[in-house]
Structure 1
Amino acid sequence: MKHILFRLLAILVACTAVPAAQAQDPPNILWITVEDMSPNLGSYGDTQAHTPNLDAFAREGVRFARAFATAPVCAPARSTIITGMYATSLGTHHMRSVGWLPDAVRPFTHYLRAAGYYTTNNHKEDYNFETPPGTWDASSTEAHWRNRPDPDQPFFAVFNLFTTHESHVRAGPAYERDVADLPPALLKDPDTLTLPPYHPDVPAVRAAWARYYNVITKMDREVAALLDQLEDDGLADETIVFYFADHGVGLPRGKRWLYDSGLHVPLIVRIPERYRTAGQGTPGTVEEALVSFVDLAPTVLNLAGVDVPEHMQGRAFLGPDLTPPRRYVYAARDRMDERYDMQRAVRDERFKYIRYYEPFKPFYQYMNTPEQGVVMKALRQGAAEGTLPPAAERLMTPTKPREELFDTEADPFETHNLADEPAYRDVLERMRAAQNRWVEETKDVGLIPEPILRAMEEEADLPAYTLVRQQEVPFARMRDVALLWTEGPAAVPTLVEALQSAHAPVRYWAAVSLGNLGAKAHPASGPLTDALADPSPTVAIAAARALCRMDQPDEALPVLVQHLRGDRQWVRLHAALVLDEIDDQARPAIDAMKAEMTYRDDMLADGKYTVRVLNRALNELLGTDNEVR
């Protein structure tokens, strides 16, 4: 009956999604996703973790040793998971933002539904775009495969477990609720834990790591409860089960970072024998091949016997007719809440390369959310007292290197940068070239400043993905100009020329690069003054920043205040960030900054990101300690 129903539905919607040939009933598929968690499971070799249920699950399935998120934070990562496309291609790469999907791109559950699947999500979405109608049959705290109208209908069900989220690792009511039913003997003794070398070894940090391991123990029990429901329903032998995390641990230098601590995730897949392709799914095996989040959607469709749409950018890693394994995985970090910091990473099975497009910014920019945690407070205190361990101290510098290269086999914590070592020159150039190719081939819209990108979308009435494929957008030129300042004053004439580009993103990066050079770019002060009237407010703000860094704030400050008072959210944020950066030069603008310390219900998140930046700037200028949400 189940097979017949699936076939009839598939024929009816053949124009939408054409299922591949099925030799048997289609599998049910269950996703169990968890928040903010690195591979801290017993099955991954972490002896500090108490995860008996997931360890047993790993013995029944395949443990993927090299699975990586495409972003170290939830919304951009989930954007990729649900579409099978890089967030940096779709324009959904900032945390948080509201992107716009082109008509041809749908969440992969659309194709499953068209092929006869009942799809449910319980319950977090957080895709950085408005969920299109038809994505789910049900998406709520009540969504469950048990609610499908026909018990013979195949299902794809997602359960998002929130227990390990960073907010639950903090001491407080959420954490206390999570661990209330755990036997005291299972609660971790902070003094027995081994900490990573980039965290200070102080009691507050040890306590945070103990809480993290305790909520993992709780989560392990929640996973077991879901697996028990499958067994109780007699569906375990008909259901492929995926378990994975949305990115790495929710502590500083994990979540929001492109190190493995932010990107490496657990991924375990259990495939009933009847659905195994030859050589796949053998219980208790370990798969060493690289897997990226962009591969999850194609893999589910392939397992379900549904053709993978051509626009998807990943590859199926399970099921029939696989393409060759990938050589690299890629990841991106862009705006994290109120702070921009464009970073890109590429990793092979051994080496990790990180390109910092804004190395003039510190590793640890002040961000409201992580600063509330005890680990970030301990890092700040240790930096002030000069007591941090070397691996933590290197992250407290006011600037970053342009590039980092790590041998993850010899240096799993990624603390020894090999980028300047001659012995690794060939590796560096290979990985750098891979990153450059990826930026161009995927049309990485992270190179287009957020206010400019949104203005381009609005003007063309097209989503970013379509826009950059229909218009001439010089990705290589933007990338090169963004990095040109690293060549020093010799780059000034070329940057001044770039200030005249017809493309606003090129002009923006030219102004930023000149500002990074500071007084060394003084010959460009005239063209930068002219750029204060640029038709793009974002370029004008970047020019104002450059002039301030040349100690010429008089004409720049009014431009910053003008755009701070505007109605475009991301333009306002750019202006606020410059006012925060220029410190005492911003004093004449204090009254204007105070006046804009208001939440706006016409903006995403009530405009709180601009409020946060202004609050930080005013606290620094006035010696206050005001807190905002």
Structure 2
Amino acid sequence: MKIKYSIVLLSLITISCFSSCSGKEESTQPPNIVWITSEDNSKHYMRLFDEHGTEAPNIEKLAKGGITYTHAFSNAAVCSAARSTLISASYGPRLATNYHRKLQKVPMPDDVKMFPYYLKKAGYYTTNNAKEDYNIIKHDSVWDESSKKATWKNRNLGQPFFHVFNILTTHESRLHFPESAIKEGTKTNQDSCFIFPNHPKTELFKYTNARYRDLIKKMDAQVGQVVDELEADGLLENTFIFYFGDHGGVLPGSKGYINESGVHVPLVVYIPPKYRNMVDKKPGSKENGFVSFIDFGPTVLNLAGANIPEHIDGKPFLGKNITSNEVSKRDETFSYADRFDEKYDIVRAIRKGKYKYERNYQPFNYDGLMNNYRYIQLGYQEWKALYEAGKLNDIQSQFFETKLPESLYDVEADPYETNNLANNPEYAEVLEDLRSNLNERVKGMPDLSFYPEFYLINNAFDNPVAFGQAHKSEIASYVDIANLSLYPFDSIKDQLEQALNSSDPWKRYWALITCSRFNTEALSLQSVIEAISKTDDELINKVRAWEFLGLTRVDDPVKGMTDALYASKDSAEALLILNSMVLMKDDFKKSYTFNIDTNNMDTEVSQNSEVMRRLEYFNK
């Protein structure tokens, strides 16, 4: 008993050290901080953020007592990649936390912990109710409680707390309804709902939009319940409350894609009366400066007066030494999309002010490529069926068609990114500026995704950040080869041929991808590519070669790709091979037929959960 009493007493003494005898308690005692996170909803569905959104009275009430952030971004557009960014305060491509779902977790960088660790060191009680979903190996000292029952109520008397509350109500799975549900109707008037211009204006999409707005209202009520509980405990006066979405979504083409509806999230921060002196902005105001998930952890630490570690990517936007004038000048965010369940891609984006630049490193991997869990949603199924039937307009069809290597949008004039300005000479200077910006970022991090994921798992996952620094020059060379796709083929043909003949397998890898971007323009390199398809030491390079031959209709890729799949002993490698096979199967111009015999596959590979998603699709 004496030991337990001493621990409690020591804790109370530690808490009291936050207070100054000469000051008022409300200004020197550290504040409580609560995060209320709703799943899978972008800012587009709430009236507070968008003219086409629905009312959310509890969130709106929080906004009257706080700040509404009109430009908040999740960096990644899907759960584990976005949440890993939140907890680490760092960009996923630098840490190798940008793949969803994780095939293997990675450690935090040297000398950096998940940010709640620093709150605990400062005397905070840290709780998470209940979702973690990190792609990072969790340290035992991050949460005092992390479960569906986690609560601030178990802290020591007077101890400040950081509490995370997750709301599942708006999750993608809530739109996995059967056709029979449509007859039940919705509370929201279906004819009143705005339909994104890239979606077909059908009865199903009207219903889905209305159903989702009903869910937003239900989620808002749950936000109110958390606030009511804080008020009942007498905590509203000294508790900062962050409400935000964990990334965008969730109607077709948003979650998992780094367009605005995939990464532009709602964010409100309630400012408690006792701590208004800590915030250089009036309650009820709006903040138009850009903030991103990398900034949320440092902001919490700054409000708490806790240590902010070096070597993270984010910076605070509230608290000590942060002025509204400085935050309002922030006008950039960086976004990334890679593997999304079993579907691979690599897309990066910079938004600066009203302009958004997207770099599609594998533009033949069109957005609508089969992704099993997505296509449970009836909206996805109908959208694809209408495309195949030729019943969509040009804007609605873009989701199912090959992309350009780079895109540029004025998202203030074109918020749904339907008009690509990349080839418009009037925007050449903007394009070049943002292209240079992005290249500096991916080379400077460096961005680990320029190696295939399976290679990173086998060679980098013990210490991804150190691996990136050790291979920074190699990664820069792969970026340069990928960027050859931005120039006329005749001007870069010799460089591509040199890369195809390189002794570095990943230079060959990116040269093959670039050839596929050029499609039939690159047929003058056919003989080199055919040789790679037969003799390369890397199975994935053989597959990338067959991918080019299949896309150009020069040769049937089925046997070559299937043989590579059977030869693979690595489930992550096999998953990447299967992505190319699905691309061939779903090619709308010429579909190739695969008959995969799982008895010929490595047993461990065939039983991997993500591989099984692909095999399920082939075996339908």
Range of TM-score over shorter length:
0.7 to 0.9
CA contact (8 A) 1:92 1:128 kept: yes
Question: What is the rounded CA distance, in whole Å, between the counterparts of 1:139 and 1:172 in structure 2?
Answer: 34
1:422-454 deviations in Å (ceiling 9; x for gaps): 221111111111111111222111222111222
1:15 aligns with none
Give the length in aligned residue pairs: 592
Shift in Å, 1:253: 2.1
1:478 aligns with 478
Shift in Å, 1:276: 2.9
Question: What is the rounded CA distance, in whole Å, between the counterparts of 1:24 and 1:388 in structure 2?
Answer: 60
CA contact (8 A) 1:170 1:208 kept: no
2:362 aligns with 358
Return closer, same or farther for 1:363/1:581 CA change in 2, 3 Å cut-off.
closer
CA contact (8 A) 1:292 1:329 kept: yes
Shift in Å, 1:374: 1.7
Where in structure 1 are there 5+ consecutive unaligned residues? 13-21, 619-625
Question: What is the rounded CA distance, in whole Å, between the counterparts of 2:12 and 2:319 in structure 1?
Answer: 19
Shift in Å, 1:328: 1.0
1:446 and 2:449 aligned: yes
Equivalent position to 1:155, from 149, 156, 161: 161
Return closer, same or farther for 1:447/1:275 CA change in 2, 3 Å cut-off.
same
Shift in Å, 1:581: 3.4
Return closer, same or farther for 1:269/1:485 CA change in 2, 3 Å cut-off.
closer
1:237-275 deviations in Å (ceiling 9; x for gaps): 111110000111211121112111111111000111332
1:74 aligns with 79
Equivalent position to 1:134, from 141, 150, 166: 141
Question: After the TM superposition, which of the residue ranges 83-92 and 373-382 deviates more from structure 2?
Answer: 373-382
Where in structure 2 are there 5+ consecutive unaligned residues? 1-7, 19-25
Question: What is the rounded CA distance, in whole Å, between the counterparts of 1:163 and 1:407 in structure 2?
Answer: 32
Shift in Å, 1:611: 2.8
Question: What is the rounded CA distance, in whole Å, between the counterparts of 2:512 and 2:191 in structure 1?
Answer: 50
Question: After the TM superposition, which of the residue ranges 86-95 and 534-543 deviates more from structure 2?
Answer: 534-543
Question: What is the rounded CA distance, in whole Å, between the counterparts of 2:387 and 2:562 in structure 1?
Answer: 32
Question: What is the rounded CA distance, in whole Å, between the counterparts of 1:503 and 1:538 in structure 2?
Answer: 13
Equivalent position to 1:55, from 40, 56, 60: 60
CA contact (8 A) 1:65 1:266 kept: yes
Amino acid at match of 2:511: A
Question: What is the rounded CA distance, in whole Å, between the counterparts of 2:229 and 2:303 in structure 1?
Answer: 22
1:331-355 deviations in Å (ceiling 9; x for gaps): 0011111111111111122111111
Equivalent position to 1:402, from 370, 386, 405: 405
Equivalent position to 2:543, from 541, 544, 566: 541
1:467 aligns with 467
1:336 and 2:336 aligned: no
Shift in Å, 1:295: 0.5
Return closer, same or farther for 1:166/1:582 CA change in 2, 3 Å cut-off.
closer
CA contact (8 A) 2:365 2:583 kept: no
Question: What is the rounded CA distance, in whole Å, between the counterparts of 2:138 and 2:379 in structure 1?
Answer: 35
5 Å matches for 1:116-265?
116-148=123-155, 150-171=156-177, 187-265=187-265
Shift in Å, 1:472: 4.5
Question: After the TM superposition, which of the residue ranges 154-163 and 318-327 deviates more from structure 2?
Answer: 318-327
Question: What is the rounded CA distance, in whole Å, between the counterparts of 2:540 and 2:470 in structure 1?
Answer: 23
Question: What is the rounded CA distance, in whole Å, between the counterparts of 2:234 and 2:131 in structure 1?
Answer: 27
1:161-190 deviations in Å (ceiling 9; x for gaps): 0000011133269x99xxx9xxx9x81121
RMSD between aligned alpha carbons? 3.1
Question: What is the rounded CA distance, in whole Å, between the counterparts of 1:140 and 1:318 in structure 2?
Answer: 28
Give the SS at the match of 1:474: helix
CA contact (8 A) 1:6 1:116 kept: no
Return closer, same or farther for 1:330/1:7 CA change in 2, 3 Å cut-off.
farther
Return closer, same or farther for 1:206/1:599 CA change in 2, 3 Å cut-off.
farther
1:115 aligns with 122
CA contact (8 A) 1:79 1:128 kept: yes
Return closer, same or farther for 1:457/1:234 CA change in 2, 3 Å cut-off.
same
Return closer, same or farther for 1:525/1:585 CA change in 2, 3 Å cut-off.
farther
Return closer, same or farther for 1:220/1:310 CA change in 2, 3 Å cut-off.
same
Amino acid at match of 1:609: E
Amino acid at match of 2:367: F
1:298-327 deviations in Å (ceiling 9; x for gaps): 111111101211111011000112384433
